[in-house]
């Protein structure tokens, strides 16, 4: 049968403190018992020896006369048994005739057991007699037990008071914890402000500090999510409004040519809205699974080839040639699906801004301490002042004539950050176009 302690910290502290007091009291009583018993042995052994010596220094009158009981002749009659023998083995005195000591005499100190009782015996031989003085060992043990009980009795009597004092002290010590609990319990769901650590004991303070750090991260995540939802709603409003206007134009079209133009514009608007929704879903999916799956070995060359194959139809519509060279293999720790999305978004950005019939170069490089790849296009590039802002969600550079959601580079940056990588936007070789360079550090 197992005993389960309460989950209450107060009850546990009370239990262990009282258990420590009880164990300490029992240990003290045991030590007192053993110490008293040892002292009693020394004292009573000395008493036995002095009694025998005092009888042995007499005039030998006790050595004559018949065997009889003279309990009244000694003041120790209640505790001591005295026997006197003649040198030829005749017992001439016994203070307790119904409890004779053994006939076999061992000079000095010895233990003798008679009728289930153990005696401590001291025997002394003189020229006229042999004297035996004995004492029941229970007398000594009774004295030791009495002292042990006197030692533990005050603690037992004070136990209820001790329990009350300990309960009050523990309750007082846990008041800061209760205050922290009340702070958290009284909060509204949207309240993520820090919990006060004022007055908290050192043992509890680190827990509340970590809780506050968690609340801070949650505040940041919720703020980011709120901004994302607001931006997404704003961005979706424009294409949906455009779709409605294009649908109205399609209904008003009176001739086949106008109707065809309206249909083409409506289809393009649907494509833009679809792409925006896909990008929003990709961003939400990446953020929701960012910390759920562990990293695994990934061949970045395979990742780039897959991203290239997925973007190839889009490149073919603009007659764009994509060349891939560099390392045939580059293994790193990462999340394959996320890395494919990163490379696909960068390639999509390059294709979108490259002219008809242009060329894109994809290069993979494997170094000792890092893996990197670059994507060079022949588009208009991005001014240096805009190169950091284009990673913001829904941001589109001024003068950009390409239709996009403004999420592709933001998603790429988020995935790179997750892999402790860095994305650099630079001028392409020759000064025309844009180079996107991604570097992944190789760790351990």
Which is it for strands 331-334 and 296-299: parallel, antiparallel or unpaired? antiparallel
Tokens of 120: 């401590």
Q: Is the pLDDT of residue 365 over 60?
A: yes
pLDDT at 234: 59
**C-alpha to C-alpha distances, 298 to 264, 295, 330, nearest whole angstrom:** 42, 9, 8
* Residue whose entry in the numeric block shows the structure tokens 């203070």: 95
**Alpha-carbon distance 398 to 380, whole Å?**
12
Question: What pLDDT score does 299 carry?
Answer: 93
Which residue has tokens 């007499």? 58
Q: What per-residue confidence (pLDDT) applies to 76?
A: 43
List the one residue out of 339, 425, 444 whose CA is nearest residue 386: 425
Residues forming beta bridges with residue 121, ordered by sequence position: 110, 134
- Averaged pLDDT, 330-344: 87
The verdict on domain 9-60+78-160 having CATH code 3.10.450 is: no
**pLDDT the model gives residue 228:** 66
> Using one digit for the tens of pLDDT, what is the confidence trace for 96-142?
655 667 667 788 888 888 777 788 888 888 888 888 888 888 887 88
- Kindly give the residue spans of alpha helices, DSSP state H, lying in 367-422: 408-418
| Residue-level pLDDT at 444 | 55
Reported as half-sphere exposure (CB side, CA atoms, 13 A), residue 190 has a value of: 2
Planar angle of CA 416, 417, 423, nearest 5 degrees = 50
Question: CA 15, CA 354: separation in Å to the nearest integer?
Answer: 76
290: pLDDT strictly greater than 60? no
What pLDDT is attached to residue 288? 58
Q: Rounded mean pLDDT of 344-363?
A: 90
> Could you tell me which residues are beta bridge partners of residue 322?
360
CA distance linking residue 379 with residue 271, whole number of Å: 22
For 138-178, write each residue's pLDDT tens digit.
Answer: 887 887 788 778 777 777 777 788 778 888 887 887 787 77
Q: Are 311 and 273 in contact (CB under 8 A)?
A: no
> To 5 degrees, how large is the angle CA 362–CA 363–CA 364?
130
Tokens found for residue 100: 């004779």
More confident residue, 259 or 372: 372
- Categorize the per-residue pLDDT at 394 as very low, low, confident or very high, splitting at 50, 70 and 90: low
State the pLDDT at residue 62: 46
Residue 289 has pLDDT above 70, yes or no: no
Which comes out higher in pLDDT, residue 345 or 56? 345
Residue-wise pLDDT tens digits, 41-97: 888 888 888 888 888 775 444 444 444 444 433 444 457 888 888 888 788 887 765
| pLDDT for the residue 72 | 37
Given its phi and psi angles, is residue 89 left (phi above 0), alpha (psi -120 to 50 degrees) or beta? Answer: left
Which residue from 181, 144, 165, 132 is spatially nearest to 29, judged by alpha carbons?
144
Q: What distance in Å separates the CA atoms of residue 379 and residue 350, rounded to the nearest whole number?
A: 7
CATH code that applies to domain 295-441: 3.30.565.10
Query: What percent of the chain is modeled with pLDDT above 70?
Result: 82
How would residue 21 be classed by pLDDT, with cut points 50, 70 and 90? confident
Instruction: Compute the radius of gyration of the chain from its Cα atoms.
Output: 50
Map out the domains of the chain as residue ranges: 9-60+78-160, 191-292, 295-441
Give the pLDDT confidence score for residue 364 in this predicted structure. Answer: 93
Q: Where are the alpha helices (DSSP H) in 329-395?
A: 336-353
Burial 403-416 (b: 16+ CB within 10 A, else e): ebbbbbbbbbbbbb
Level-2 CATH architecture, domain 191-292:
Orthogonal Bundle (1.10)
Region 1-22: mean pLDDT is 70
Residue 356: how many CB atoms within 10 A of its CB? 8
**Does position 304 have pLDDT exceeding 90, yes or no?**
yes
Residue 60: predicted pLDDT: 42
Residues in the chain: 444
Helical H runs in 174-204? 175-185
pLDDT of residue 238: 60
* Per-residue pLDDT at 400: 52
- Residues 150, 156, 161, 163, CA torsion sign: positive
d(CA 167, CA 173) in angstroms, rounded, equals 10
Which of 139, 140, 133, 76 minimizes the C-alpha distance to 109? 133
Going from the C-alpha of 330 to that of each of 147, 346, 440, the distances in angstroms are 83, 19, 11
Mean predicted lDDT score pLDDT of the chain: 78
314 has pLDDT over 50: yes
- Return the minimum-mean-pLDDT range out of 209-218, 316-325, 341-350, 401-410: 401-410
């Amino acid at each position: 049968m197992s005993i389960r302690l309460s989950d209450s910290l107060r009850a546990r502290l009370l239990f262990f403190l009282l258990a420590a007091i009880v164990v300490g009291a029992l240990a003290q009583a045991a030590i007192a018992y053993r110490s008293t018993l040892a002292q009693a042995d020394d004292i009573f052994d000395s008493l036995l020896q002095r009694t025998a010596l005092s009888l042995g220094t007499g005039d030998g009158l006790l050595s004559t006369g018949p065997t009889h009981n003279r309990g009244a002749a000694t003041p120790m009659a209640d505790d001591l048994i005295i026997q006197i023998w003649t040198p030829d083995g005749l017992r001439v005195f016994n203070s307790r005739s119904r409890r004779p000591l053994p006939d076999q005499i061992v000079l000095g100190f010895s233990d003798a057991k008679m009728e289930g009782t153990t005696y401590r015996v001291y025997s002394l031989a003189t020229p006229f007699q042999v004297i035996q003085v004995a004492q029941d060992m229970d007398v000594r043990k009774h004295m030791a037990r009495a002292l042990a009980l006197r030692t533990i009795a005050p603690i037992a009597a004070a136990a209820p008071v001790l329990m009350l004092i300990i309960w009050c002290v523990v309750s007082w010590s846990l008041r800061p914890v209760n205050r922290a609990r009340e702070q958290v319990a009284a909060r509204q769901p949207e309240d993520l402000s820090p919990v006060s650590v004022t007055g908290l004991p050192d043992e509890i303070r680190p827990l509340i500090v970590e809780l506050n750090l968690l609340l801070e991260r949650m505040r940041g995540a919720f703020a980011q999510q709120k901004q994302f939802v607001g931006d997404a709603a704003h961005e979706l409003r424009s294409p949906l409004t455009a779709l409605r206007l294009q649908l109205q134009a399609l209904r008003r079209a009176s001739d086949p040519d106008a109707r065809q133009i309206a249909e083409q514009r409506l289809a393009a608007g649907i494509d833009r809205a679809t792409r925006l929704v896909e990008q929003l879903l990709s961003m939400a999916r990446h953020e929701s699974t960012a910390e759920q799956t562990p990293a695994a070995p990934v061949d970045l060359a395979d990742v780039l080839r897959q991203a290239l194959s997925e973007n190839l139809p889009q490149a073919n519509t603009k007659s764009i040639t994509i060349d891939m060279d560099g390392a045939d293999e580059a293994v790193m720790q990462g999340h394959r699906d996320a890395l494919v999305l990163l490379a696909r978004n960068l390639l999509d950005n390059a294709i979108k801004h490259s002219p008809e019939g242009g060329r894109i170069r994809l290069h993979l490089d494997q170094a000792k301490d890092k893996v990197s790849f670059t994507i060079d296009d022949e588009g208009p590039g991005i001014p240096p002042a805009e190169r950091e802002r284009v990673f913001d969600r829904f941001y589109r550079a001024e003068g950009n004539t390409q239709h996009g959601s403004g999420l592709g580079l933001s998603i790429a940056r988020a995935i790179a950050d997750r892999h402790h990588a860095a994305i650099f936007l630079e001028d392409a070789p020759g000064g025309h176009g844009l180079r996107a360079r991604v570097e992944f550090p190789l760790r351990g």
